[in-house]
Chains A and B, each alone.
Chain A
Amino acid sequence: MDKRKPGVETINLGHGSGGTMTRDLLDKIIFKTFNNPYLNQKHDGSIVKFAGDYAISTDSFVITPIFFKGGNIGELAVNGTVNDVAMCGAIPKFLSLAFIVEEGLSLDDFAKIVNSVKKAADKSGVQIITGDTKVVERGKGDKIFINTTGFGEVHPKGNISFDNIEVGDKIIVSGYIAQHGMAIMSEREGLEFESTIESDTTNVNFLVKELLDKFGNDIHLLRDPTRGGLAGVLSEIATDTNKGVAIKENEIPLEMQVAAACEILGLDPMYVANEGIFIAIVAAEVADEVVETMKNNEKGVNAACIGEISDGHPKKVVLESTIGGKRIVSPLIGEQLPRIC
């Protein structure tokens, strides 16, 4: 059934044809919004001068719903990639931006998303320097998919590598976990709480820069616990370093409403997706100061040290539960599925 409302201008296959409709869409929405010297060259791509080491990261965004409490797919596409570049110990500079739009998306929604991309890019200090817009038939996509690739200069003091991780290093989380995933789940399930759970999607690149300015190579690893959640990233760290990860359930920052939503939906917050937070593995001697620095930055006010790298149980994440018991935290096999009862 076609649910298009009469009178609403929508994107159709013509907008992806490469003809005048495409040109119109690009001129009216894309070029107008992202107006910058790189894009204004209107080449097939952009010509950029790079000096020194660069970090490059790409990501595709296919989230449903595309508009959610606390953000939309546009800002997510910027923040996600900006943060991935920052996790390499780099300062994000440029982004590519590619849309795959399903015909029928309203031009208004498309413009809203493009504007969010612009706002998020400005906030994190990156420029959109190349892009692409394709339109697919109805039913062949899900409203809109976005791919972004980020380019960033590696921080002069940045040295992020698994090889730097040592036994005794502290594990710091920059904020509340599971916020984004539960905002999306609550939206999908139509759950309402006393106050709304909002996605915490945001750019953390300036906080990362501050940490690197201040602590340099005492910051051993940075990771963005998006899909697979905190458990996924910590398991990877344990496996890839051949060292143990020991964490305490009581120390993990988890907002009460999010905890309650997880209980209701039968999900474990350790596996719920995050945005806007990161994990830092840092030398033990600077750990307290790193937490302090994070807490003084608006992007890290809820930061906490949740555990350390240990030599006791290589390749395993061991969590001490709220009641003092211990268990292994293993990565998720597939999607986290709600339980029957």
Chain B
Amino acid sequence: MKYLNEYRNLESTKRYLDEIHKIATTNWNIMEICGGQTHSLVKNGILELLPETVRMIHGPGCPVCVTPLNLIDKAIELLENDVILCSYGDMIRVPGSEKSLLEAKAAGGDLRILYSPIEAVAIAKENQDREVVFFAVGFETTAPANALSVLHAEKEGLTNYSILASHVLVPPAMEAILSDELCNIDAFLGAGHVCAIMGMQEYYPLVETYKIPIVITGFEPLDLVQGIYMALKQLEEGKFLLENQYARVVKEHGNKAAIDVIKKVFEVGNRKWRGIGEIPNSGYIIREAYRKYDAEAKFKVGKISAPENSQCIAGEILRGIKKPHQCSQFGKACTPSNPLGAPMVSSEGACAAYFHFSDNLISSK
């Protein structure tokens, strides 16, 4: 628990909170990009401890929330066609247009919940008479492992393994948010884990172009209050810089080995974001050389395009325009056991975080 307990320490956290209260003079909107940060802010009750003037806006960094609806439908179609579908845990309860993966499993689908795509390659090796697909969703954080699984399958000579990829990238999403005319974000907390892989380089142009402070931040309570403090200090001093709060993990140039693996298997391409729409050059697609490991190409899964539930305002939530409790369906027609949209399902989704960890008792800022 080294590097965790220190960052959950009451005294050090309180010191930064006191500083935040001291320096905050006016209203500021700070967006934390990553769903893991949203989860931690709410779980640790940090929103309550901030001054009224410091509003945290929850960003689109929840991989489960932004995975397009039709991709979930495709995964379900594979599952219903005798494919062994492997997935990270929190993907399985997300509603597709008719059902979730969990419901497809209950109907007889062979769904395996895994911690790593490398396990899926092992499953493919053990079941060479069956097709095995890994549902490869996520940001830059999960891309190296997903790419590595393809390289492992290639090395093993497996022809029954492929990935259903939906990788999205953080910087283009930030750019999309910043160029939106409704954008009211004054500073960003950058996603620490994403930068651990990719490094800091991609963020300098954003800081320059949009003249906005970005503080790459970790996930523990002390990380978050420190990140908020650093962003606030820049705002109050009229500065806009890229700073690294999460220096114990994030290095300037990231993790070279991981980046190399990503580049070998993926290239940057357009991606659809659930609730936001298509963003140019905002995701990874599988390179031509590895197309035989691309489940979408391999299985010709039908082009399913179902409209989102019209009552769900996930798009506005993900762009930080509205807060979960400002949705008329929040906690009424939309609950984690009966979600209308993805942000109510994933533990990183802003709606689920609000539903689980706070309510009217604790005013949600």
Chain A interface residues toward B at CB < 8 A: 189, 256, 259-260, 263, 265-266, 313, 316, 318, 320-330, 333-334, 337-341
Judge whether B113 is part of the interface by a CB distance below 8 angstroms: yes
The answer to whether B45 and A327 have CB atoms under 8 Å apart is yes
The answer to whether B113 and A337 have CB atoms under 8 Å apart is yes
With A and B bound together, what is the CA distance between A98 and B241 in angstroms? 68
Contacts of B347 in A (CB 8 A): 337, 339
With A and B bound together, what is the CA distance between A89 and B242 in angstroms? 61
Known contacts A322-B9, A322-B44, A338-B89; 17 further A-B pairs (Cβ under 8 A)? A313-B361, A316-B361, A323-B45, A323-B49, A323-B221, A323-B222, A324-B10, A325-B47, A325-B221, A327-B42, A337-B90, A337-B113, A338-B88, A339-B88, A340-B64, A341-B36, A341-B139
The answer to whether B90 and A323 have CB atoms under 8 Å apart is no
- Given A327-B45, A327-B362, are A341 and B4 neighbors across the interface (CB < 8 Å)? no
Nearest CB in chain B: distance from A272 CB, A: 14
- Given A323-B14, A327-B45, A328-B356, are A263 and B88 neighbors across the interface (CB < 8 Å)? no
Judge whether B182 is part of the interface by a CB distance below 8 angstroms: no
The answer to whether B142 and A328 have CB atoms under 8 Å apart is no
Contacts of A326 in B (CB 8 A): 45, 48, 362
Nearest CB in chain B to that of A264: its residue = B115
Contacts of B337 in A (CB 8 A): 333-334
Chain B interface residues toward A at CB < 8 A: 1, 4, 8-10, 13-14, 36, 42-49, 63-64, 88-93, 102, 113, 115, 137-139, 141-142, 193, 221-222, 225, 336-337, 346-348, 355-359, 361-362
The answer to whether A341 and B89 have CB atoms under 8 Å apart is no
- Given A322-B221, A328-B356, A333-B336, are A341 and B1 neighbors across the interface (CB < 8 Å)? no
* 3 nearest A-B residue pairs (beta carbon): A325-B45, A337-B89, A338-B89
With A and B bound together, what is the CA distance between A333 and B335 in angstroms? 10
The answer to whether B138 and A330 have CB atoms under 8 Å apart is no
Nearest CB in chain B: distance from A299 CB, A: 26
16 contacts between A and B (CB under 8 A): A266-B89, A313-B361, A316-B359, A323-B14, A323-B46, A325-B47, A327-B43, A327-B45, A328-B361, A329-B357, A338-B115, A339-B346, A340-B64, A340-B90, A340-B142, A340-B346
Contacts of A341 in B (CB 8 A): 36, 63, 138-139, 141-142, 193
The answer to whether B358 and A189 have CB atoms under 8 Å apart is no
With A and B bound together, what is the CA distance between A232 and B138 in angstroms? 30
A323 touches which of B13, B102, B142, B336 (Cβ 8 Å): B13
- Given A338-B89, A340-B63, are A321 and B44 neighbors across the interface (CB < 8 Å)? yes
B10 touches which of A313, A323, A338, A340 (Cβ 8 Å): A323
With A and B bound together, what is the CA distance between A259 and B89 in angstroms? 20
With A and B bound together, what is the CA distance between A142 and B42 in angstroms? 40
Nearest CB in chain B: distance from A339 CB, A: 5
Contacts of A339 in B (CB 8 A): 36, 88-90, 346-348
- Given A323-B221, A339-B348, A340-B63, are A328 and B43 neighbors across the interface (CB < 8 Å)? no
The answer to whether A324 and B113 have CB atoms under 8 Å apart is no
Nearest CB in chain A to that of B43: its residue = A327
Nearest CB in chain B to that of A231: its residue = B356
The answer to whether B1 and A256 have CB atoms under 8 Å apart is yes
Contacts of B43 in A (CB 8 A): 321, 327
Contacts of A329 in B (CB 8 A): 357
Nearest CB in chain B to that of A325: its residue = B45
Contacts of A313 in B (CB 8 A): 361
With A and B bound together, what is the CA distance between A54 and B48 in angstroms? 48
Contacts of A327 in B (CB 8 A): 42-45, 357-358, 362
The answer to whether B221 and A321 have CB atoms under 8 Å apart is yes
- Given A341-B36, A341-B193, are A321 and B45 neighbors across the interface (CB < 8 Å)? yes
Nearest CB in chain A: distance from B195 CB, A: 13
The answer to whether B44 and A337 have CB atoms under 8 Å apart is no
With A and B bound together, what is the CA distance between A266 and B347 in angstroms? 10
Contacts of A337 in B (CB 8 A): 89-90, 92-93, 113, 347
The answer to whether B115 and A259 have CB atoms under 8 Å apart is no
The answer to whether A328 and B14 have CB atoms under 8 Å apart is no
Contacts of A323 in B (CB 8 A): 8-10, 13-14, 44-46, 49, 221-222, 225
With A and B bound together, what is the CA distance between A234 and B63 in angstroms? 31
Contacts of B4 in A (CB 8 A): 263
Nearest CB in chain A to that of B225: its residue = A323
With A and B bound together, what is the CA distance between A92 and B49 in angstroms? 48
With A and B bound together, what is the CA distance between A189 and B337 in angstroms? 27
With A and B bound together, what is the CA distance between A301 and B84 in angstroms? 46
Nearest CB in chain B: distance from A163 CB, A: 25
Nearest CB in chain A: distance from B166 CB, A: 11
